[in-house]
Each structure stands twice: as C-alpha cells, then as structure tokens.
A and B are shown apart, each in its own frame.
Chain A
Amino acid sequence: MQKEMAYSFPDEVLKHVFSFIQSDKDRNAVSLVCKSWYEIERWCRRKVFIGNCYAVSPRMVIRRFPEVRSIELKGKPHFADFNLVPDGWGGYVLQWIAEMAGAYPWLGEIRLKRMVVTDESLELIAKSFKNFKVLVLFSCEGFSTDGLAAIAASCKNLRELDLRESEVDDLSGHWLAQFPETCTSLVSLNISCLGSDEVSFSALERLVDRCPNLRSLQLNRAVTLDKIANILRRAPQLVDFGTGNYAAELQPDVFSNLAGAFSSCKELKSLSGFWDVVPAYLPALYSICPRLTSLNLSYATIQSPDLIKLVSHCPRLQRLLFLIQVLDYVEDSGLEELASSCKDLQELRVFPSDPFGVEPNVSLTEQGLVAVSLGCPKLQSVLYFCRRMSNAALVTIAQNCPNLTRFRLCIIEPKTPDYLTLDPLDAGFGAIVEHCKDLRRLSLSGLLTDHVFEYIGTYGKKLEMLSVAFAGDSDLGLHHVLSGCESLRKLEIRDCPFGDKALLANAAKLETMRSLWMSSCAVSFGACKLLGQKMPKLNVEVIDETEPPDSRPESYPVDKLYIYKSVAGPRFDMPPFVWSMDEAVKILH
C-alpha cells in the first residue's frame, strides 16, 4: 500500500520537486530511478554541462533534453593552453549553435571554454535567441569585434558578456557603441582580453551609466588610469572591478580623484587588472582594502614593498593571485608577511615573471609557500611556480594544509630533485596526497620516479584531474594511477616514459574518464589502433603534424594521443593532422 503511494504522485508534483534539484550529478541520479522519472526529469532539465563537446552530439542532447535554457561546453584539451594542441585541431561551436537555434528558441545562456567561435557563430546567436542573457567565452578564439557587435546590437536583455582570456581579432572599438540605448540590463562585462587602443571609451562610459545593475566590470589594458575614476563614479555599486593600465605620472589631483572614486564603491570586494603598476598610485586603494576578498595582481609587473604593503591592508583576503617579480627584495619574506596578515586566505597563485630566465635569480623559493601554509590554515587551492623544492617542505605543507583541494606545483626546470638531498620528490608529493584527503586536482613537477605514482594511486582516491610532465620510469607508474585513482576524470601526460602496457591493461578505465592526453610518451601506433578497434566507446585520436602515423612501423611511438569517451562516435571535423583510430573511419587524408 505504501509503495503504491510513492508512485502515485502526479507528474506536476514530481516536476516541482525536481525543480529544487540543481546539481547535474543529482539530476543524473534522479533520471536513473525509473522510466517515468527519467521522462519527467528530461523534460524539465534546464541546464546542461558538457565537459567535452565531442563526447556527445548536439542532436543527442536536444533529443534527450528538449527544453534547455542554459548550456556549457568545453572544447580543446587543457594542454591547448600551453600550445601543445595544434591550431585547427577542432572545438568548433558553430554546429552546436546551428542545431540549438532550431531546437532551443528560449536558450538564454551559453558558456564556452577553449572553443573556436567564429563571427558567424556569434551572429547566429544574436539572431536566433530572443531571450539571450549570458555569453561567456572563456579562453576561446576565432572571432572578432564584428561578431561582438552583432551580439551587442541584437541581445536586448543581455546580462553577462565575459570574454576572459579569449583571443579576439580587435578590428574596431566601436562595437561597444552597438549596445542600444535601451540596453540597461548588463550585470557583468569582462573585456580584459581586448588588445586594441580603440576601446570606445565614451561608448563604455554611456553603457556603464545606464546599467544600474552592473556588478562586475573588467576593463582592458588600453583604458588608462585617469579614466578609472570616471567609470567608478558611474558605477559605485560594483562588486568586482578590473582596472586597465595602472600607470601614470603622479599628479595629486588625479590621485585624490582616484582615491575618492574607489572609496565611493562601498560594495567593491574584488580587484584585478593592474597592468603596468606605478606604486605611487597603490595607496589610492587603501580605503577599499579592508573589504577586499579577492585580489589579482598577476599582471602587475612591478613588485615592490608598496605592493606587499597593499596586501597587508587586506586582512579579509580569500583569493590572491600574485606575480612575483624577481628583483632585489625578498619575495619569500613578502609571502611571510602575507601569511601573517591574511588568515582567511583560501587560494594562492604565484606566477614567475621570468620563466625562461636561465639563471635562478632566486628570491622566491619553497619557503614562501611553507610560510603561507603555516599562516593560512584555510588554504585550499595552490598554484605555485618556483625554482627549487624539497621533500621536507612538501611534507610540512601537506601537514599544515590538510584541506587542500587543488595543488599545482611547477618547478621550472624539469626533473629538478630535492635541492637539499638530491632525492626525487616522490615522498613530498606522496605526503600531499596522503594528508590532503579531499585533493581533487594535482599537478606534478620535479624529479619523480614510479614511486610517486604508487602514492597517488594508493591515496588519491578523490583525485579528479592529474597533470604529469617529465616524470616516472616505466609503465608501472601509469598503471598505478589508472588502477588506483577511482575518481580520475582527466589525465594529461607529457614527456614521460609510459608506453603501451599500462594503457592497454587499463583500457576499461578509460571509459570511466572524460579524457586522457599523452604527448611525447612511448605509446605505439599499433597500440592506438588496437584501442580504437576494441573500445568502441572511446574515440582514440592520434595527432601528428609531420607525417601520417601509418607511414612508419606500427611499433613507432605516436607524437600526441588524445582519448576520450564518446557516444557520438568519431568526429567529422578532424583536420588532416588528426587521425581517428576507429575502425569504421576510413583514412581519407
């Protein structure tokens, strides 16, 4: 009797209940309970996240979820950020837009990462979706300001336009003027990636003026310091602000105008930008520092005591992105000061100012990170570039920060050992994975043997993403990871002596992951072909720009290999230098 009652809820009730379930993971679980829940759920799913645009086809998504309002797509593999994926590899969004234009007239939000977006795609978005609100192009390329003009002109209720880290062909600053006078809906605008001098500043000012809900604004480098005050006075409600250029000759009236403008922004919590900092203008920020929770100084190429002083005015800082300029003062002690004043710090990123410099010129070492780990118990996310490290330091960091969820360490010179003992850094990273039980993301560097992978396989049970470079001795290393890391979704490897054995032995594991990237390793063409033939649920793609892989012996290693699970089968847009190992695909090149 009770069982029957559970299933006798009308669909509308279930629909209402499901509307409270937002997370994709939970929705996926709901859809697996029974057929009728699957049906109800799929009709009311409004938001879809597709971590690999080639894992599924637009048609399949549309067929299953007919009423989507918001979509997020990711294209190229992560290593594309570092030029390891050749131009033309793929990740085109046009076909998605074209299919969704017909199927989702009410689509309101598109978020893309590492995809190729053409002006044609942008124009199609502009004319197809009447209720379009949010466009985020994170690390995308292929479009120009013409495409942006189309978006600006047509999207009457645009709330968010975020172009962060994208490569835009900047033909003219006048696209900003295409926002109609009636557009007052902007909440977030990020144009920090635009290169041109000709951002139409007057158009920008007018736009900011008429958008009372604007909360987040990131300007580009072309906007000069003297213009900041104008903008801020028109938008005192800003929460998140990215300056442009922060350099000018020191003039008292400019300074006081700027300081006044900043202090009028009572909600301002997050700052970025700061290209070309002139230290004398930093005190203009002091009034807002006590409220700041996020500070991105990673473009600020002038490092000085003034900058550290700025940070020490920010006791509530949770997120700090720092560019460490190696000059004549000690950066480690700067981090020590930070550690003593920013007790709430959760995320720290330290970038090298001179990554290709041959001489160490070391003022930033492992000590800085150790100090922060000691002083900031809430530390969760670390990205740290340095030139030396020790196992002892890593162990200390691991013990101080058991709550780490993301740990990315880049020791600049590949295969650098523990500088004190000259041992590999296996034990240090082992301590990280052992103590940080919630670690989801890890990037390795330094001298590492197969042992580090044994630790990772044993302890990294929550690890979802692992990046490996110049590490390991044999296939055993890869085997430890593939067989041990239960939660592994993304694995990217370069320049490691991993070959066929571990990969073939753990082929089934690959079906449970989003993707695997291996470049400059030792996986043979024959093994790739075998994987492609035997694993129909995987797309196995070999990338080689010099010559076709089958023009060499099968035992020859492939240059780059990208394997990902897919229900869409091999893709149709592969360039000539990408070969699918799927048996069904005839090699036409």
Chain B
Amino acid sequence: MELQLGLALPTPNMVKGFDLNNHGLDQLKEMGGLEAWNKAAGCFADKDCVKSKRSFEQAFGNFTEECRTKPLLLWSGQPNEEEDHKDQKKATFSTTDENDAEEDDQVVGWPPIKTWRKKIFQQQQQQPRVGRAENNRVAENENGRSIYIKVKMEGVAITRKIDIKLYQSYQSLTNSLITMFAKDKKCDEDDYILTYQDKEGDWLIAGDIPWQNFVRSVQRMEIVRNWG
C-alpha cells in the first residue's frame, strides 16, 4: 500500500485512515451521506460546496450559484461539438510504434499484449530459427513489411528503434535521425557519423553500399562523434 501523502482534502478513504473504528465514516454519513461525496460534482477548491447532493446535470446548471470559488467549467448544456482530432499526424518514426509490425493499419498498443510476448508470436510465425535468437533486429517480418532497428547515439542513454522500411535513401534516414535525436542532444550535423553493424558483425560507416543492400544487411546502428 502507498505512502500516505497527507492530503488536506478529506475523502472517504482518508477518513478511514484516521480512525480504525470507522468513526469517520459515521461523520461522513451525518454530513449527508457518502452519496454526497460521490455525486457532488462541485468545486475542487471549496470543501463546503460538496455537502449538497447534486446530480450531474444540476452540478453544471447551478455551478455558479453554489460555488463560492470560480468554477473551472461553465457548461451551458450545448451538445458536444465533435472534436476532430483525425488531423493529428503521428511522426513516421515514432518511437512508440515498435511492434505493430504485422499490418500498417494496426492500432497502437492494441490488443494489449506486452512487447516481449509479441516478439514471441512474431518469431513463431517466421521460419523456426535454430539457436541464435536475434535481439538486434527487434522485429522482422519476411513479407517485406516493417523491419525495426535499434539506433543508439553516443552520449544518449536511451536507444531508439526505427522502421528502416519507411526510408528510401540514406538522406531520408539521416534526416529523420537528426530530427529524432535533436530532442536529446543539441548537436551540429557535421559532428556525427552514422555507423551500422552488418550481418557479419562488422561495424561500418553507412553510405558505402547501395540502399537496398544496406536495408537487408543492417542489424543495428550507432551515431558516433566525428573525430576526423
């Protein structure tokens, strides 16, 4: 159970904590019932407001009358305007979309299955691999859909993951990486080199081989300082 934070605003739970004999609960009942606490949609700042029992509609209608403090919300009862948040664009290199590797129109985080469990499913759906469990390629689907690669930047604690299939060229990749890591580290583009580890385990500088070969070969990437 939690550390009590000693909140000032009395609540049914808090009162129980005070008195092991539930005396506090009796007090609450005298004040107008637990329902008063539950249903009062009142001022959060003024305790006296919450004594009267009000329904949801009443609370909003009588908001200004019954509360001494200024209400946060004046609701005239007009129907909701449908908020249109379909325009919200998600960054293509969002670090959250790690595991919707099967289909592009997957809802993020649904069904609610933990990341490592999803990896097991994905590995099972591919050719069974004897022995080597690859944890550099975070998730790979051989149908040519997303391939997730870990990207580390020197000096940044958190490793990111990107879907290499979203890019068509080294330029588009580096542009995205700059934008992504600029949040973590203010840096000049020229100070850093993009390196990658290939299938043989060797670390190479990105850009020497054709893009498609790179995509097939890259296991993980690291952005390192350019000392040259």
Q: Please determine whether A82 and B114 come into contact, CB atoms closer than 8 angstroms.
A: yes
Contact flags (1/0) for A336-354 with B, using CB distance below 8 Å? 0000000000000001111
- How far, in whole Å, are A476 and B108 apart by their CA atoms in the complex? 26
Residue of A nearest to B102 (CB): A356
Determine if B17 and A29 form an interchain contact, defined as CB atoms under 8 angstroms apart. yes
Q: Which residues of B113-155 have CB atoms within 8 Å of chain A's CB atoms? A: 113-118, 120-121, 124-125, 128, 131-133, 135
- A533 to chain B: closest CB distance in Å? 9
> Which residues from chain B contact A499 at a C-beta distance below 8 Å?
80, 83
Is B5 located at the chain interface by the 8 A CB criterion? yes
Give per-residue flags for B1-30: 1 if the beta carbon is below 8 A from chain A beta carbons, else 0.
Answer: 111111101011110011010000000000
Q: In the assembly, what is the distance between CA of A355 and CA of B99, in Å? A: 12
Q: Which residues of the other chain, B, contact A356 by a CB distance below 8 angstroms?
A: 102-103, 106
Q: Are A165 and B72 in contact (CB under 8 A)?
A: no
Q: Do the beta carbons of A56 and B5 come within 8 Å of each other?
A: yes
Name the distance in Å between B79's Cβ and chain A's nearest Cβ.
Answer: 9
**How many angstroms between the C-alpha atoms of A535 and B1 in the bound complex?**
24
Chain A hits for B85, CB < 8 A: 520, 522, 556-557, 559
Does B39 lie at the interface of the complex (its beta carbon under 8 Å from any beta carbon of A)? yes
**B75 sits at the interface (CB 8 A):** yes
Q: Which residue of A lies closest to B75 (CB)?
A: A501
* B158 on the A face (CB < 8 A): yes
Expressed in whole angstroms, the minimum distance between the Cβ of B38 and any Cβ of chain A is 5
- Give bound CA distance, A197 to B17, whole Å: 51
Residues of A within 8 A of B161 (CB): 87
Q: Which residues of B contact A32 (CB under 8 A)?
A: 4, 17-18
* B14-71 contacts to A (CB < 8 Å): 14, 17-18, 20, 34, 37-45, 50, 56, 59-60
Contacting pair A414 B110 (CB below 8 A): yes
- Please measure, in the bound complex, the distance between the C-alpha atom of A300 and the C-alpha atom of B143, giving whole angstroms: 24
Binding site for B on A (CB under 8 A): 23-25, 28-29, 31-32, 48-51, 55-56, 61, 79, 81-88, 116, 118, 139, 142, 165, 167, 169-170, 193, 195-197, 221-222, 275-276, 298-299, 301, 351-356, 385, 410, 412, 414, 443, 457, 467, 469, 474-476, 479, 483-484, 486-487, 489, 494-495, 497, 499-501, 504-508, 511-512, 514, 520, 522, 524, 527, 530-531, 534-535, 537, 545-546, 555-557, 559, 565, 567, 575-577
Give me 22 A-to-B residue pairs in the complex whose CB atoms sit less than 8 angstroms apart, sorted by A's number. A24-B2, A79-B109, A84-B96, A85-B96, A87-B158, A87-B160, A196-B133, A197-B132, A222-B133, A299-B120, A354-B125, A355-B111, A356-B102, A414-B107, A479-B41, A501-B60, A505-B59, A507-B44, A507-B72, A508-B43, A527-B73, A575-B183
